Amino acid sequence: DAGVTQSPTHLIKTRGQQVTLRCSPKSGHDTVSWYQQALGQGPQFIFQYYEEEERQRGNFPDRFSGHQFPNYSSELNVNALLLGDSALYLCASSPANRVRESSYNEQFFGPGTRLTVL
Amino acid sequence: AQRVTQPEKLLSVFKGAPVELKCNYSYSGSPELFWYVQYSRQRLQLLLRHISRESIKGFTADLNKGETSFHLKKPFAQEEDSAMYYCALRSYNTDKLIFGTGTRLQVFP
């Protein structure tokens, strides 16, 4: 199992453009979360997808949207790119089979996609 | 507001010295806290969580609700401990993790 995979590795875009980042979860995982990590900062939660629906969302504008497919893979879309969107975008997946709703299932992180907006 | 603070950007020690990486949090309720680690050229991974009360690679962390702290400690640092360490807080009943800004630990031979 390759674990969580993300594509592409690096991406360069210009302001105003749109970008799509992709994530394949670890085998057996059904939940995907996306994080933005700006330089010198810790990861910031963008949103989480479960059963093809956005379940939780962090403090990010509507320019950030996502999708989850029936095979649990996910996409992160960012419209109208700003210079401040330059960051490492991390995908994390967590397993199915929750013992109880309030329990935490460990999130396994991918290597990230480095987005540069010029 | 929910927040995690890691006051040190960089901590440098010599091999064999004790290590303490500081983490303070702000959260109303019962927090769940974690330490994540990122070794060079590797992905972010879970080191330990306060609920399990375990020692991983010689590291321990105790949740102090009075001081709202969750400091990471190791009595004798090893060179292979050099990495970026992130303290994280989980909101109750969600999988949303709130990370601190991280502390880079450098262990010199």
pLDDT tens-place string over residues A38-64: 999 999 999 999 989 998 899 999 999
Query: For residues A41 and A34, what is the distance between their CA atoms, to the nearest angstrom?
Result: 15
Q: Do B43 and A106 count as a contact with CB atoms less than 8 A apart?
A: no
Of the candidates A3, A45, A108, the beta carbon closest to that of B97 is on A45
Pairing of strands B45-49, B3-5: unpaired
Q: Do B97 and A101 count as a contact with CB atoms less than 8 A apart?
A: no
A-chain residues within 8 Å CB-CB of B93? 101-102
Sheet containing B60-61, strands listed edge to edge, beginning at the edge strand earlier in sequence: B19-21, B72-74, B60-61
Number of helices (H), then strands (E), in chain A: 0, 11
What pLDDT does residue A97 have?
Answer: 53
Best CA proximity match to A113, nearest among A82, A80, A74: A74
Per the DSSP assignment, residues forming a β-bridge with A86 are: none
Which uninterrupted H or E stretch holds A57?
Answer: strand A53-57
Best CA proximity match to A42, nearest among B95, B36, B67: B36
Instruction: Give the residue numbers in A contacting B (CB under 8 Å), as ranges.
Output: 3-4, 31, 33, 35, 40-45, 48, 56, 58, 90, 94, 101-102, 104-112
Pick the residue from chain A with its C-alpha nearest to B48: A106
Pairing of strands A87-95, A108-109: antiparallel
Percent of chain B with pLDDT over 70: 100
B-chain residues within 8 Å CB-CB of A43? 44, 86, 97, 99
B5: contact with A, CB 8 A cutoff: no
Q: A68 near A53, Cβ under 8 Å?
A: yes
Which residues make Cβ contacts (< 8 Å) with residue A77, sequence separation at least 6? A18, A19, A20, A21, A64, A65, A66, A67
Q: Do A109 and B45 count as a contact with CB atoms less than 8 A apart?
A: yes
Q: What is the pLDDT of residues A58-117, one digit of tens each?
A: 999 999 999 999 999 999 999 999 999 999 999 999 986 555 455 667 899 999 999 999
Mean pLDDT, rounded, of chain B: 92
Q: A115 near A86, Cβ under 8 Å?
A: yes
Of the candidates B93, B98, B101, the beta carbon closest to that of A101 is on B93
What pLDDT does residue A17 have?
Answer: 98
What pLDDT does residue A102 have?
Answer: 52
A-chain residues within 8 Å CB-CB of B90? 104
